[in-house]
Structure 1
Amino acid sequence: MHSKAESDDQRPITGLALEVIGREGSVAFIRDGEVVQSADLPSDVRATASLTPALESLLISMNSAATGSSTGQAESPLPTQTSHPEFIAVADGPGSFTGLRIAAATAKTLAYAWGIPVVTLDSLSVLAAAVLPTGAAETEASGDDLPGVGQRMMVGLDAYRGQMFVGTFVATEAGWQSDKEIELLDRDDWLETLESASPGTWLTGDAIKPGLPTAQLRVVGRKQTLASALAKLAHQEYLVGQTTDPMEVLPKYFRPSAAEEKAASSK
């Protein structure tokens, strides 16, 4: 466990966040709880090819801003041992098998190289947090943008093969808090869950498709990049020492891969 309280260092608390929950992904840099830069990965390039360049570009920009210098071609894209962030955050699942693996491996490698901890958060908590405006806790956002304490949220993440990952959350003054284990539902169970939800329940995620019974629910989209939401959640976790050793970071798939299911069914 590691926390800022363990050190008298008065430097700003900085963190790097990355996620590849779905087919695409995003990266973000946070300083003292404020996301200062974030970007979605390009939709026309696989995350395997776009994640590292996106991180390099972000880190170059942040290092240049911190030193007040312009970035030259010869400048190293990665922070030095004295300028690295205090933590790296990664969404560790559920989600895309390939995406989760790439994100976890990247976070693990950088954290190990810099000697810093990793903060891991489940993907559905990140999706829930992303529907809030950036800085919602610090700004005067409208009532339409913020949930009232006690309101409920369902998050549906398309798991493909006719299944959905579903999480449920309740709004607190600190944000959305999970109140149930993540479930893997077949389509019929997903439809039943939607139909039985209380009117006014917030609903988000890419499992929300046209034609679903959502008329009585409040369907909302994300208001920030997923990496921004991840960074803000991770910053709070870091402050209280909820971190993971880099070598213990592993993606959580929540189900076997298609190949594993096929092999099991053939036995």
Structure 2
Amino acid sequence: MDPQTEFGSPRPVIGLALEVIGREGSVAVIEGGKVVQTLELPSDVRATASLTPALQTLLQAIHPGEKRPEAVSTGSGFRAPATRPDYIAVADGPGSFTGLRIAAATAKTLAYAWGIPVVTLDSLSVLAAAVLPANSSEKDSTPAEWPAPGQRLLVGLDAYRGQTFVGWFREQDSGWVSEGPVELLDRAHWLETVESAAPGIWATGDAMKNGLPADHLKPVVQQQTLASAVARLANQKYLAGQTTDPMDVLPKYFRPSAAEEKAAANQSGSAK
């Protein structure tokens, strides 16, 4: 059923998107399929302290004339707007252990308090979508901004500790389509992947650092905030009914933490 205004007429679907994939994060609002507002979290403040205020600022900017109701019982003092989002979208991994945990917990708490579903996206799909301009389509983008049909994209996300999260995508009518699951590669295999990639392949992500054997590839940079990419992808999933119960939202780390790896190594060593 379409969302309704107070006068009973249909209103555009509203989604609230957030991500803390890396050291910084961003938030966005999408309304009627168009990203209408986005904010990047301040780089000098931890996401733990900045994420909820940024979400509140964003919603107040979108609907400044609405009366603020009683605060929902989230423990954070977050106040919902009179026109609540229809869903919350979040990038659930891979990425920063702390950032993913904060983002997932915030999305879960607000969605549960508001009685709305969550839409989850994997981080590499978000990074792929962010290389295109926000609210773009093939017909209103220049050839330099939009990939040709069949174009491939290599996404590399720095996993630190000498590792890289890697994803391959191909352009189809519906946008970037993943060619397989996320891979976690050590440095040697990451260098081999970059060097052996076919000439002309697009490449993006913070793992595409200077000094890589990548002169034959086409580097593409982020054209929009990651939260706006989350919002656009999530809107498609929401309209297709692909949502998640808030209580089932968990960050996907794709590997043990450094502390867990150290504990496992110690246990293995003591067993010898």
Q: TM-score, normalised by structure 1?
A: 0.92
Alignment of 1:137-156 (within 5 A): 137=137, 140-156=140-156
For residues 42-101 of structure 1, give each alpha carbon's deviation from its aligned partner in whole angstroms, at most 9, with x where no partner exists. 11111111111111111111121xx4x699xxxx96224x52100000000000000000
- Aligned-partner Cα distance in 1 for 2:244–2:3: 21
Q: Residue 47 of structure 1 contacts residue 99 of structure 1 at CA under 8 Å; is this kept in 2?
A: yes
1:228 corresponds to: 228
- Aligned-partner Cα distance in 2 for 1:214–1:173: 27
- 1:168 Cα deviation after fit: 0.3
- Aligned-partner Cα distance in 2 for 1:39–1:214: 32
- Aligned-partner Cα distance in 1 for 2:3–2:220: 42
Q: Residue 91 of structure 2 contacts residue 121 of structure 2 at CA under 8 Å; is this kept in 1?
A: yes
- Aligned-partner Cα distance in 1 for 2:148–2:166: 21
2:211 corresponds to: 211
2:50 corresponds to: 50
Alignment of 1:70-81 (within 5 A): 78-80=79-81
- Aligned-partner Cα distance in 1 for 2:139–2:116: 31
- 1:171 Cα deviation after fit: 0.4
Q: Residue 60 of structure 1 contacts residue 77 of structure 1 at CA under 8 Å; is this kept in 2?
A: no
Counterpart residue type for residue 61 of structure 2: S
Q: Residue 156 of structure 1 contacts residue 206 of structure 1 at CA under 8 Å; is this kept in 2?
A: yes
- Aligned-partner Cα distance in 1 for 2:257–2:78: 35
- Aligned-partner Cα distance in 1 for 2:79–2:173: 37
Q: TM-score, normalised by structure 2?
A: 0.90
2:100 corresponds to: 100
- 1:150 Cα deviation after fit: 0.3
2:259 corresponds to: 259
Q: Residue 52 of structure 2 contacts residue 78 of structure 2 at CA under 8 Å; is this kept in 1?
A: no
1:3 corresponds to: none
Counterpart residue type for residue 142 of structure 1: T
- 1:8 Cα deviation after fit: 6.8
How large is the Cα RMSD of the aligned pairs?
1.7
- Aligned-partner Cα distance in 2 for 1:40–1:7: 30
SS at match of 1:93: coil
- 1:12 Cα deviation after fit: 1.2
Counterpart residue type for residue 131 of structure 1: V
Residue 193 of structure 1 pairs with residue 184 of structure 2: no
> Whose relative contact order is higher, 1 or 2, with alpha carbons under 8 Å and at least 6 apart?
1
- Aligned-partner Cα distance in 2 for 1:171–1:58: 32
SS at match of 1:266: helix
- Aligned-partner Cα distance in 2 for 1:139–1:42: 34
Alignment of 1:80-119 (within 5 A): 80=81, 82-119=82-119
Q: Which segment is superposed worse, 240-249 or 82-91?
A: 82-91
For residues 166-197 of structure 1, give each alpha carbon's deviation from its aligned partner in whole angstroms, at most 9, with x where no partner exists. 00000012211101110000000000000110
Counterpart residue type for residue 195 of structure 1: E
Q: Residue 138 of structure 2 contacts residue 146 of structure 2 at CA under 8 Å; is this kept in 1?
A: no
Query: Unmatched 5+ residue regions in structure 2?
Result: 5-9, 69-76, 268-272
- Aligned-partner Cα distance in 2 for 1:152–1:188: 22
Counterpart residue type for residue 17 of structure 2: A
- 1:30 Cα deviation after fit: 0.5
Q: Residue 92 of structure 2 contacts residue 100 of structure 2 at CA under 8 Å; is this kept in 1?
A: yes
Aligned length: 255
2:161 corresponds to: 161
Q: Percent identity?
A: 65
Q: Residue 3 of structure 2 contacts residue 11 of structure 2 at CA under 8 Å; is this kept in 1?
A: no
Q: Residue 59 of structure 1 contacts residue 78 of structure 1 at CA under 8 Å; is this kept in 2?
A: no
- 1:139 Cα deviation after fit: 5.3
Counterpart residue type for residue 111 of structure 1: A
2:30 corresponds to: 30
Alignment of 1:174-185 (within 5 A): 174-185=174-185
